Amino acid sequence: MGSLQNQKPENGFAGTIKPLDPEEFRRQGHLVIDFLADYYKNVEKYPVRSQVEPGYLKKRMPESAPYDPEPIEEILRDVQKDIVPGITHWQSPNYYAYFPSSGSIAGFLGEMLSTGFNIVGFNWMSSPAATELESIVMDWLGQMLKLPSEFLFSGGGGGVMQGTTCEAILCTMVAARDRVLKKIGRESINKLVVYGSDQTHSALQKAAQIAGINPNNFRAVATTKANAFGLTAEALRETIESDIKSGLVPLFLCPTIGTTSSTAVDILTPLCEVAKEYGIWVHVDAAYAGSACICPEYRHFLDGVENADSFSFNAHKWFLTTLDCCCLWVKNPSALVQALSTYPEYLRNKASDAKQVVDYKDWQITLSRRFRSLKLWLVLRSYGVANLRKFLRSHIKMAKNFEGLIGMDKRFEVVVPRNFATVCFRISPIEIGGKHNQIVTKEEAANNFNAKLLETINESGKIYMTHAVIGGDYVMRFAVGSTLTENRHVILAWKVVQEHANALLTMS
């Protein structure tokens, strides 16, 4: 019978529920570790993209919460039976969709420790180790990325762990907004303009929206294939000039290192120069590709960051740290603090009063915060800089191999140059030339065909990729980044693509 048997009510008042009994914790904890170890062993066998239909779970669940306790063994059986089929297996070696989330043992253990201590680290006092470890690890990581010292605590700036890039952008935008409104007056909030490109992640627009920027003042500057879908300084300047002529006030620019659709890179040096002229806050979003920049041969993608105001990347994407962990550095923490600080009486304490310490609550949206630095610290120590570089390079090499395989099959084409470990490819329009007519153009036919091909591949459950539309072209994105992916999986993936293409081309 279940482990919670002895938690059944005895005689009256509550004496019997022991939800944090150490020995019961040990027993149940070991069960779940084994459950997950087995999951990783078997993850390759599951269809990568979940094959359930909307509403599947409601049919399997009771209408209301149970009145009486249920044993962990039964719950784990239900996880296997009801939850696992509804999971899209981001940890599968055959997962190439969106940008993968690279889990690791070290990241997992760090999250366990953080969850186990379960501290609420809003200020230094609430758990000094949480704040101090975060500051230390952020400086370590900043050094690994060769960020200019102004971004590090040791150089007067500093780093903070946010949940996601959305938060990093929102916090820095609010800091920028308030800095400007302090000068020009709050009534001008409707004049502020935010700049990205048509390739920038939707997080920028959403942050602007939340921060109260007028939706008419969000600029997605057009990019072109000729510029590899990077934002150019010329296009940016032209847009800014036009806004200024209209009486608007340029506020915030968000260049991207490794865009979501095609991993394009906005070249920072010229963009930061333009931004500087107009007093615009530059936040560099390297959510995906920032990780690669710890390798000397990729660091050049960050050239120019010395003229930005803030920089962030997601350690939960491609750095073996489990969701969520966005690393944000700012040159001027006081701009963040001025915009985001609150100091109610019930949080007052000697260390904060004496301004001896960092209180991270003033660097982020929320008050409460988890002990996130533990997982990044464990990742850095468990693997070391050398292995982390190797890990990243191995993915880039696998993506290159995949690109090579595409190159050997004339029916396919790589649509944009590969910068990192993501390949954007499609069946060439020439190959399906016969299928267009006066209603559907050749390009439309190609887009439709590739969309159909991708859907049949994903339906097979063998691999999972997602799509993008780049310069009007529908492309399949092959993003290597799952921790368990090895070259054999990449070779298998290519076979899967070819087989489905063969079938679809023959059918049509």
CB 278 within 8 A of CB 272: no
Bridge partners, residue 284, by sequence: 311
User: Strand, helix or coil at 328?
Assistant: strand
**Between residues 370 and 500, which has the closer beta carbon with respect to a copy of itself?**
370
Contact flag: residue 503 with a copy of itself (CB under 8 A): no
Neighbours of 93 (CB within 10 A): 20
DSSP string, 375-397: HHHHHHHHHHHHHHHHHHHHHHH
Please list every residue from 40 through 69 that binds a copy of itself, using CB under 8 A: 40-41, 49-50, 52, 54-58, 61, 64-69
Q: To the nearest whole angstrom, how small is the minimum distance from the Cβ of residue 237 to a copy of itself? A: 26
Q: To the nearest whole angstrom, how small is the minimum distance from the Cβ of residue 497 to a copy of itself? A: 19
Q: What are phi and psi of 415, to 5 degrees?
A: -85, -35
Which residues are CB-contacts of 150 (< 8 A; sequence separation ≥ 6)?
156, 157, 306, 331
Please list every residue from 308 through 347 that binds a copy of itself, using CB under 8 A: 316, 320, 322-324, 339-340, 342-347
Contact flag: residue 30 with a copy of itself (CB under 8 A): yes
Would residue 156 be called left, alpha or beta, if left means φ above 0 and alpha means ψ between -120 and 50 degrees? left
Contact flag: residue 125 with a copy of itself (CB under 8 A): yes
Sole binder of a copy of itself in the list 73, 77, 81, 128 (CB under 8 A): 128
Bridge partners, residue 283, by sequence: 310
Stretch that binds a copy of itself, among 28-36, 229-237, 329-337, 438-446 (CB under 8 A): 28-36
Sole binder of a copy of itself in the list 91, 239, 256, 263 (CB under 8 A): 91
Contact flag: residue 83 with a copy of itself (CB under 8 A): yes
Sole binder of a copy of itself in the list 1, 5, 11, 22 (CB under 8 A): 22
Q: How far apart are CA 25 and CA 27, in angstroms?
A: 6
Sole binder of a copy of itself in the list 242, 366, 502, 508 (CB under 8 A): 366
**Between residues 172 and 274, which has the closer beta carbon with respect to a copy of itself?**
172
Strands 422-427 and 473-479, by their bridges, are: antiparallel
Strands 192-197 and 218-221, by their bridges, are: parallel
Please list every residue from 437 through 496 that binds a copy of itself, using CB under 8 A: 466-469, 477, 483-484
Contact flag: residue 82 with a copy of itself (CB under 8 A): yes
Exposed / middle / buried, residue 354 (Cβ in 10 Å: 0-12, 13-18, 19+): exposed
Sole binder of a copy of itself in the list 147, 289, 374, 501 (CB under 8 A): 374
Contacts with a copy of itself: how many residues (CB under 8 A)?
162
Stretch that binds a copy of itself, among 82-90, 224-232, 402-410, 497-505 (CB under 8 A): 82-90
Q: To the nearest whole angstrom, how small is the minimum distance from the Cβ of residue 276 to a copy of itself? A: 25
Tokens (6 digits) for 463 = 């691999």
Contact flag: residue 119 with a copy of itself (CB under 8 A): yes
Whose structure tokens read 């070819």?
Answer: 498
Please list every residue from 193 through 222 that binds a copy of itself, using CB under 8 A: 201-203, 205-206, 209-216
Q: How far apart are CA 400 and CA 414, in angstroms?
A: 11
**Between residues 39 and 461, which has the closer beta carbon with respect to a copy of itself?**
39
Sole binder of a copy of itself in the list 351, 491, 496, 504 (CB under 8 A): 351
Which residues are CB-contacts of 358 (< 8 A; sequence separation ≥ 6)?
124, 131, 135, 153, 158, 333
Neighbours of 467 (CB within 10 A): 19
